[in-house]
A and B are shown apart, each in its own frame.
Chain A
Amino acid sequence: MSRMRTPEETKAAMHEVVAEMYDRMVKGEPPTMTLPVRTKNNIGFDKKLGVYKYGKKQSIRDATSLGSAKQLLRALHVVEFIEEMLDAGKSSTLREMYYISEAWGMGKFGSQNDSNNLAEDLEIVTKCLREDFKLRPEEDGARMIGNLTLRERNRRGEWMRINARDDVGDSGYGVPYNVELEKIELLEHDIDFIMAIETGGMFDRLIENGFDEAYRCGLLHLKGQPARSTRRIMKRMSEEWDLPVVVFLDGDPWSFRIFASIAYGAIKTAHISEYLATPSATYLGITADDIVAYDLPSDDLSKKDIEALKAELTDPRFADSWWQEQINMMLELDKKAEQQSLAKYGLDFVTETYLPEKLAELGLA
């Protein structure tokens, strides 16, 4: 189900962006770049795809201020740079592009964040993926452990068959940045569900306790806010193998956001939500009630936590009653708790009591 485009298609899509600027100047107007508004106010639920996508609100970046004008110039440099890579059959990381921009004079990026945002802008406007642009992310993908088998094409072009339980060490299988069909094929599995875990500490705890075998699951370490490739491979496993996905995170506002980006699509990447989001994913814990029910050691909410929770209350992705209840409860408790606070009851409590109880509620144990 790859949607990779040919270099020609990618170039044509980019030329449309350039032509918008050019035509405006010919008409005696300031050049512009039109792109969707990328805030929570402009994402809406797409019933057909089951994920959140950008709405119809457009923002026009025009060259009437120095900052916007520089953004347009940068976009042109990026287009030119991508064309050169397409022609030469090369790829580069976003960070490399940032350094290459040093030579672009007035079009040089102010920060790495600038170049990342601009690459996303171009993806959105051209409806291409950054893989089409031959731009790689810096972030590395997740780790995976469990009885599942896939095929990865290595850098010599050979396909390698890997079982994520038998062929890997304790750190598991490392998910590469590109997990599209031409790079990864999902072969077979003998598990009942996939569990995505926020912290490395908890991931290692479950492995040490043999949780993946005992409960017939695949474990996936998210490393905080998951990279695109992590979300993409979760999505593929869930769809291609028809496996349930449960998400086990800290109990704080930021974890709620991680879950939203996994299940409904992230605001920043809402243009490709249908490729990255796993609408069937379920939030397992830590929930606000867990903090009370398990009497977990907790911290007071910070000012930023409270702001984040309040923002979530008006975020369309958290509009359903279960989430509203959880968020309000957390605000009321004025507490947050980490996954590893479960260790209060011993190292095995999480695998012997907490997770089995929570999974049972979902009918998975």
Chain B
Amino acid sequence: MTGIAQKLASNQKQVAISEFFEKNKHFLGFDSLARSLITAVKEAVDNALDACEEARILPTIKIQITKVDAKKDIIRLVVEDNGPGIPQKSIEKVFGQLLFGSRFHAIRQSRGQQGIGITGVVMYCQLTTGRTTHVRSKIATEPTAAFVDIGLDTRKNKATKANAGREIWYNEDGTGKEHGTEVTAEMKAKYQKGRQSVWQYLRMTSIVNPHAEIIFVDPEGEKHHWTRVTERLPTKVESIKPHPHGIELGQLQRMIAESKDLNLNHFLLNNFSGVTNRARKELCQAAEVEGTRKMKSVKGDDIRSLLEAFQGERVFNGLPVKLLKPPTNCLSPIEEMLIKKGLSKTIDSRFVTTLTRVPSVTQGNPFQVEVGLIFGGGMLADKPVEVLRFANRVPLMYQQGGCLLTKAIESVDWRQYGLDQAGGKGVPKGPAAILVHLASTNVQFTSEAKEALADNAEVMEEARKAMLEMGRGLRKHLEKKKKMAKTREKFELINDILPAIAEKSAQILERPVPELSGSITKIMSAVISESTTVWNKETKETDVEIVLFNYTSRVRAYTILATWPEKSGATMERNETGGRKEALGVWAWKLDSLQPGERTSIKYSLGGLEKGDWTETEILFRGSQDVIGATKMDEKFLQEIRRQEQILDENDSSSPEAGDGKEETTPTVEVHKVATAEEQVEPTVAPPNGQRTLFGGDV
């Protein structure tokens, strides 16, 4: 790791911190007055979110910015959270000491990878206003809160503390605060509005932290409130050992030098992820280093050989040594449904689609890409779409153009998905916002400023795939909207206009009003589907109803498929029509005989969801005749779902070698026989439960 931490640590002893700070403020995030304020907010809010996450507390964070001296650009920032609090003796360390804590060394996804930490803020305040930072913190087990002013002795490079004491911490409503931390800092800074502002930073933070409640009072006294939309905290992440693919020579040398393992065999098994006993043997053979060698004797060329074996340059039996992928439980994606909620609460729109790709690995580092697209509503149609970039849940606000995530958006020809894009290149235009989130144990930036992600083929590929899939979702939505309009028109025609024509013509001719069923069948000459997805307040479930009208003169047969959020933990309830699982998140019902003029309805409820989680059900069909209001099943789409499902299964399976014999678990899909003409519809003998499987066999 060659991060800012190391640089800082090695420089620490030679130069005064203030001098170092001054020299490097551009990549510490304090290069302009406006950015300094954002950085300060960012450090404080990140700390609060991380602390709450660790302690499994739903965060409520209040940020207040006031102008102390407008002429001199002095601003006061107060950030208060409801986190676990910091014990009195630790306050000084957290706020006054650089590199406190272990987060710089642990291999797991964390916010704190990015930035110098809250100490930088203390330093900045000290250097620009000469003032100390006031900290107040209370832990649940103590009756009172501790407070202290933290400063920095720039000559001795040491934290100073003053005015320490204890007090009862009252909330605004007069009750006692249970736990939390409050930081009050005064600094030279400028409050700005717009795309690069504290407001935007908090708004973006709120999108990717839907479990947080964020309250912001701006210098004009206006209160911005981003509510909590889920009670679900992000998954607790585990730290993992490094993976051989991600190791550099220096790191390996250091690990070997510091190793207390018995011998090389133990070293390889104990310190790396993805190294099985088989792999351990093969690595040693490929590197031509005995596994029984003591660690002290593993030196120079041995280490280089080992590294070459790690990287597949030295081979075993003519092939690079096969390693397991690193575990991905060190990642905490936001998850599709929560991104959807985060986006929906922040941006007014008509359509949201989100996608969390399965975890993948680049150079031994697990990563996962998530995307979201929000379309329509109050957004401007003739402006480039808003790009919302995040790395490990931290908003990236600068250097948009140079960022890998932006490049992934630009690599897609959005015109085919219904957005404007000059020449099929660049950021598309349209009433939309696109969110990209990279969760990774090792986020690589283009520079120390940590605002743009560096190029990486695997990450790019994942992000691009996610965009394409999301684009298809958008296109489907737009097509569906068109189809729905068409369906509504047809219904207006047969329900309102045609009866009026019948009545009026009969009246003019003074004859009886004609019967219309024949005309209606001829006019519609189609099967029409309509679906509703509504939240049921009483049952706390999402009720779905799919209705099919056969407005043709023949008996029709179809397989109707519907999407449902299985991946997000939803359960299928009261599905009396039966059917069966077609693939992950796709349920199917076989309807053998829809009689002419008949209305058929499929009803079910989805449990395990919150209100607003699932608002639109996509209806697909298999069959020879078109169904208005439904999409013909794209078998490629199904294959992709099955593929993803398989990856998820593999990731879940604990037995590492299971992957080799996986074929037997994959169901063979029998090609579904489709009635090609009405005449071919044969009466199917239904099994007792009234359903046949799509795969030909009975349930």
- Indicate if the CB atoms of A29 and B522 lie closer than 8 Å: yes
- Indicate if the CB atoms of B518 and A29 lie closer than 8 Å: yes
B506 partner residues in chain A, CB cutoff 8 A: 22
A30 partner residues in chain B, CB cutoff 8 A: 519, 522-523
A18 partner residues in chain B, CB cutoff 8 A: 505, 508-509
- Indicate if the CB atoms of B508 and A25 lie closer than 8 Å: no
Cα distance, A243 to B669, chains bound together (Å)? 86
| Chain B residue with the shortest CB-CB distance to A26 | B514
Cβ of B504 under 8 Å from chain A: yes
Cα distance, A150 to B263, chains bound together (Å)? 125
Q: Chain A interface residue count: which class?
A: 20 to 34
- Indicate if the CB atoms of A63 and B508 lie closer than 8 Å: no
In chain A, positions 185-214 with a C-beta closer than 8 Å to chain B are none
Cβ of A305 under 8 Å from chain B: no
What number of B residues sit within 8 Å (CB to CB) of A?
25
Cα distance, A76 to B489, chains bound together (Å)? 20
Cβ of B266 under 8 Å from chain A: no
- Indicate if the CB atoms of B508 and A15 lie closer than 8 Å: yes
In chain B, positions 502-523 with a C-beta closer than 8 Å to chain A are 502, 504-509, 511, 514, 516-519, 521-523
Cα distance, A73 to B502, chains bound together (Å)? 9
Cα distance, A29 to B517, chains bound together (Å)? 9
- Indicate if the CB atoms of A107 and B500 lie closer than 8 Å: yes
- Indicate if the CB atoms of A63 and B514 lie closer than 8 Å: no
B500 partner residues in chain A, CB cutoff 8 A: 73, 105-107
- Indicate if the CB atoms of B493 and A22 lie closer than 8 Å: no
B514 CB to nearest chain A CB (Å): 4
- Indicate if the CB atoms of B501 and A69 lie closer than 8 Å: yes
- Indicate if the CB atoms of A63 and B498 lie closer than 8 Å: yes
In chain A, positions 81-109 with a C-beta closer than 8 Å to chain B are 83, 105-107
Known A26-B514, A31-B519, A66-B490; contact A106-B496, beta-carbon cutoff 8 A:
yes
Cα distance, A105 to B509, chains bound together (Å)? 21
B380 partner residues in chain A, CB cutoff 8 A: none
Cα distance, A58 to B612, chains bound together (Å)? 53
- Indicate if the CB atoms of A31 and B522 lie closer than 8 Å: no
| Chain B residue with the shortest CB-CB distance to A19 | B509
In chain A, positions 20-64 with a C-beta closer than 8 Å to chain B are 21-22, 24-31, 63-64
Cβ of A65 under 8 Å from chain B: yes
Cα distance, A28 to B516, chains bound together (Å)? 7
Known A30-B522, A30-B523, A65-B493; contact A83-B498, beta-carbon cutoff 8 A:
no
Cα distance, A107 to B511, chains bound together (Å)? 21
- Indicate if the CB atoms of A15 and B509 lie closer than 8 Å: yes
- Indicate if the CB atoms of B519 and A69 lie closer than 8 Å: no
- Indicate if the CB atoms of A77 and B504 lie closer than 8 Å: yes
Cα distance, A24 to B490, chains bound together (Å)? 19
- Contact check: which of B489, B501, B521 meets A63 at CB < 8 Å? B501
Give the most central of A24, A31, A79, A80: most B CB within 10 Å: A31
Cβ of A72 under 8 Å from chain B: yes
Cα distance, A72 to B498, chains bound together (Å)? 9
A76 partner residues in chain B, CB cutoff 8 A: 501, 504-505, 508
B498 partner residues in chain A, CB cutoff 8 A: 31, 63, 69
- Indicate if the CB atoms of A66 and B519 lie closer than 8 Å: no
A27 partner residues in chain B, CB cutoff 8 A: 518
Cα distance, A73 to B506, chains bound together (Å)? 12
A77 partner residues in chain B, CB cutoff 8 A: 504
B489 partner residues in chain A, CB cutoff 8 A: 65-66
B1 CB to nearest chain A CB (Å): 64
| Chain A residue with the shortest CB-CB distance to B517 | A28
A83 partner residues in chain B, CB cutoff 8 A: 508
- Indicate if the CB atoms of A80 and B504 lie closer than 8 Å: yes
| Chain A residue with the shortest CB-CB distance to B524 | A64
- Indicate if the CB atoms of A25 and B497 lie closer than 8 Å: no
Cβ of A70 under 8 Å from chain B: yes
- Indicate if the CB atoms of B509 and A22 lie closer than 8 Å: yes
- Contact check: which of B493, B511, B518 meets A28 at CB < 8 Å? B518
A107 CB to nearest chain B CB (Å): 7
Cα distance, A75 to B422, chains bound together (Å)? 46
- Indicate if the CB atoms of B516 and A25 lie closer than 8 Å: yes
- Indicate if the CB atoms of A70 and B514 lie closer than 8 Å: no
Cβ of B573 under 8 Å from chain A: no
- Indicate if the CB atoms of A66 and B514 lie closer than 8 Å: no
B518 partner residues in chain A, CB cutoff 8 A: 25, 27-29
- Indicate if the CB atoms of B501 and A73 lie closer than 8 Å: yes
Cα distance, A106 to B499, chains bound together (Å)? 11
- Indicate if the CB atoms of B509 and A106 lie closer than 8 Å: no
A13 CB to nearest chain B CB (Å): 13
Cα distance, A83 to B508, chains bound together (Å)? 9
- Indicate if the CB atoms of A28 and B522 lie closer than 8 Å: yes
B493 CB to nearest chain A CB (Å): 5
| Chain A residue with the shortest CB-CB distance to B521 | A28
- Contact check: which of A64, A79, A106, A107 meets B508 at CB < 8 Å? A79
A69 partner residues in chain B, CB cutoff 8 A: 493, 497-498, 501
Cβ of B652 under 8 Å from chain A: no
A69 CB to nearest chain B CB (Å): 4
A65 partner residues in chain B, CB cutoff 8 A: 489, 493
Between A and B, 17 residue pairs with Cβ closer than 8 Å are A15-B509, A18-B509, A21-B505, A22-B509, A22-B511, A25-B519, A28-B517, A28-B522, A63-B493, A66-B489, A73-B500, A73-B504, A76-B501, A79-B508, A80-B504, A80-B508, A107-B504
Per CB-CB distance, the 4 closest pairs between chain A and chain B, nearest first, are: A28-B518, A76-B504, A25-B514, A66-B489
Q: Which residues of A are in contact with B by a Cβ distance under 8 Å?
A: 15, 18-19, 21-22, 24-31, 63-66, 69-70, 72-73, 76-77, 79-80, 83, 105-107
Given contacts A22-B505, A25-B516, 13 further A-B contacts (CB under 8 A): A15-B508, A18-B508, A18-B509, A28-B519, A28-B522, A29-B518, A31-B501, A31-B519, A63-B519, A65-B489, A73-B497, A76-B505, A80-B508
